Structure formats: C-alpha cells, structure tokens
Amino acid sequence: MTLTNRPFATLRLGDSAEYRRLVTADDLYVFAAATGNHNPMNLPDQDLDGDGRTESRAPATFVAAMVATVLGNQLPGPGTRYLRQGLDYRGVAFVGDELVARVTVTGLQDGVVRLATVVEAGGRVIAEGEAEVAAPLQEISFDDSGLPGLVVQGQRQFKAILARAAGRAPLPVAVVWPEDEASLAGAMAAAEAGLIRPLLIGQGVAALASRLGLSLAGAEVIAAASDAEAAARAVALVHEGRAKAVMKGHLHTDTFLRPMLARETGLRIGRRLTHVFVMDVPGVDHPLLVSDAAINIAPDLATKVEITQNAIDLARSLGIALPRVAVLSAVESPTPDMPSSVEAAELAAMAGGRITGGVIEGPLAMDIAVDPEAARIKGMRGLVAGRADVLIVPGIEAGNILVKLLTHLGHAEAAGLVLGAKVPVILTSRADGTLARLVSCALAVVQG
C-alpha cells in the first residue's frame, strides 16, 4: 500500500481520519516482545483472577499506538513528528474487539497541528484526548509493501486441544499396520501422553519397535498377515467393543477405509464419512476447521450437508459453542454459472433446520471469510464474515490446495479426523509429524 501525506498547507480545521484494527492474541504477544512489557494482564493465555477466563486486555499503550498509526499513516501522514499526546482512558479493550482510532484537526499554527483524538471499542469510547504534531511541509509518498511481516508460531491452538483431552481415560485405538517409524512412534507417543491405548495390528511391529528402540509398554500387539487383513481386523475390534477409534498406519488410504465402508460389516451408521482438518494457523486466534479436503471428491448438496454438520459437531466438541461456518466460493452472491456459489447459499439457508448447532453464511470468498478488514471494506456484515471457525470448500481439489497453502506457506500445523462412522477415524498422512499425530488422537478423544 502507498501512504501519501497531507502537507501543512493543505490541512483545514475539521479534517479527520480513522483507522480500524481487530485486536488479536498475536497482537498482544508481538507488543510484549517488542516493548519488553510482559505484564500478564496483557497476555492472552493468563487467568490472574481465577475466574476461568484469560485476561486478554490490550495494553493502554497499544491503544495509544492506534492514534499514532492514524497520525503517521494518514493525517498528516508520512513525515509527521510527535510533539505531545495526552489520553484519558475511559475503558478497556480485549482480544476480539475492533478498535477504531479517529483524529480531527482542531488547530493549525506555524506548522503545528493540534488534533482531538478518540479510540472506540465496539462503539464504546475507551480513550480520548489531544495530540500535537509537527506536520510535514512537503508531499511525501511511501510504499510500505516491502516491510517484513511477523509470524507468531506458538502452536497455541494445538496445545489447547491437547489440554482439553488431558485427564480423560486413554482411548483404546486400533492402529492399522504401524509398519514404519512415523506411524509406530506416533502411536506410542500418543500412548505415552495418556491419550490412547494402542492396539497395534501388523506383521512386524515388535521387531520394528526393537530396531527403533521403542518401548511397547501399555500397547497390545495383534498379528495380521497383510495391511488389508489389519484393516479388516480393526473394524472387527470396533464391533467387539475393544476399540473406540481406528488410526491409519503405513498403508494406502483406500485399503484402510475399504472394510469400514462395507455395507453389511463396516462402520457406517447412516451418515456420510467426511474428513475435517483442524488447522493451527499463525495469526489466527482460534482453530480453523477445513472440510472436506481428503475423502469426498466432488460432493453434491446432500453430501455437503453432512460435511457441514460433521464439522460443526467437531467444532463444538473443541469448545466452540456456536461455530461460525463460511461456505466458500469465488463470489459473494449466488451465480448460476458457478454451482458452488448456488449450493453455498442453499447450505446457508439450512442453518437451524437440516443443519444445527452453528451459524452459516455463504457464498463467501476466502478473504471475506477470514479477514475482518476485507469483510468491512467489501461491506459484508454478519456473524461469520471475517471470523469463520469452519471453512466448507467446494470440493477436494480446492480443499487440498487450501490446506497445503496454509501448511507450507502459512506455517500452519494440521491435524485431522474422519467423522460419520461408528467411531472416530484418525486418518494420518505419511508426512505428518509427531505433533499432528498427537493432536489427531486428541481430536478422537474429545469427539469420542
């Protein structure tokens, strides 16, 4: 973006400008790191008064910096020098509040500009006062697009999911064909964390564990001559009541799922099997759920109903009381030439009817779904726009691209779960690290 200033000679009494910003958890971390002020009152993960809620208060100096942003970027803009600022604080801003800082020119003399300043949060005035600045005398333009961005990587959402699953009884999980280091070590790490009690179904599990120096303490090893036999045995263990979830090891997904989908002997319960990725995205202060990016290739409207309901159910199990669901397309209004936009509108109309437990809006483009500023600029209002918890993609191609972009370019972490079967199904990828496998197991625990 190019910033252009207002030289002193162009300013008039009554000129005004404003700046809006949604306060995020990452803002508080970045502010604490930049200033060295680690007051726990202003950190998003501290509960000082023991009421079960984190304080998450924006520091007063963060609020004051909102005024500085308007002065330095817009009015007068680049080249402005601070002379004085006074603010009286009337209230407090919290994570999730949209702050609006506004300045108005009230005096002009000898290159000095006096401005009334006010900062609001949710329509409440939380600070007001006056500033004096030396305005630039010449026009200055500045392209800020080259400034480096900041990414806060703390895996906070995944840590919260693991904490939510902690303290529950370990879930007996049939681990199908853990015949490589990643799948066997991941299952045993989940066992060590107290999340699962593994039933390891394979051919050379004990020998592999010995070579890797892994203890199989707390696990049961069940022999199978092939990966297909192991997958069938896992389904049988569920029917016998011995397994309460199934986890994929080192085998192809179609081999893993085939016995679960068998009409007479599988794990169907009358609902479509759908997959949900749970993403921990730097800069997003809540888990971001994406569905379906792994199983249903080109879902029709009836399938999307079940995809959406399953995703809402998982979001609620993670503590999101009323999940905000964005049904994605490339436009914001139904367009017959774009079937995904029409189906998005139809899904949104089903909220509270065929689909329960969440609020749904669509069609929404990706930027409007997740970026409050984009939603505001484009005039999109509602409970979901800019704040989506769940993203419903048009098909598997869009979902796969979205998840991999978030992972490889956005530095996000991804875990996932298959829902709609008799028990949760942990569908891991060969590329998944230990953390993703642990969180996928935790999702099965909280969902199961």
Residue type, 419: L
Q: What is the mean pLDDT of the chain?
A: 94
CA angle 120, 124, 130 (to 5 degrees): 45
Q: Tell me which CATH code domain 156-447 carries.
A: 3.40.718.10
The dihedrals phi and psi of 296, each to the nearest 5 degrees, come to -85, 115
CA distance 390 to 284: 13
CA distance 219 to 95: 43
pLDDT at position 51, please?
Answer: 78
| Sign of the CA dihedral running 177, 183, 188, 194 | negative
| Token pair listed for 74 | 């817009």
Residue type, 201: I
| 262 pLDDT more than 70 | yes
Residue type, 131: A
> In the 8-state DSSP scheme, what is residue 221?
E
CA distance 387 to 370: 5
Would you list the DSSP string of 105-125? EEEEETTEEEEEEEEEETTEE
| Token pair listed for 351 | 């909220």
Provide the total of helices (H) and of strands (E) in the chain, helices listed first: 13, 18
pLDDT at position 145, please?
Answer: 81
CA distance 266 to 258: 8
| 154 pLDDT more than 70 | no
pLDDT at position 419, please?
Answer: 96
CA angle 415, 420, 426 (to 5 degrees): 30
CATH 3.40.718.10 in the chain, residue ranges: 156-447
pLDDT at position 188, please?
Answer: 96
Range from 88-92, 354-358, 375-379 carrying the lowest mean pLDDT = 375-379
pLDDT at position 9, please?
Answer: 96
pLDDT at position 153, please?
Answer: 67
Q: Tell me which CATH code domain 2-146 carries.
A: 3.10.129.10
CATH 3.10.129.10 in the chain, residue ranges: 2-146
Please write the tens of the pLDDT for every residue from 384-409.
Answer: 999 999 999 999 999 999 999 999 98
DSSP, collapsed to helix, strand or coil, labels residue 360 as: strand
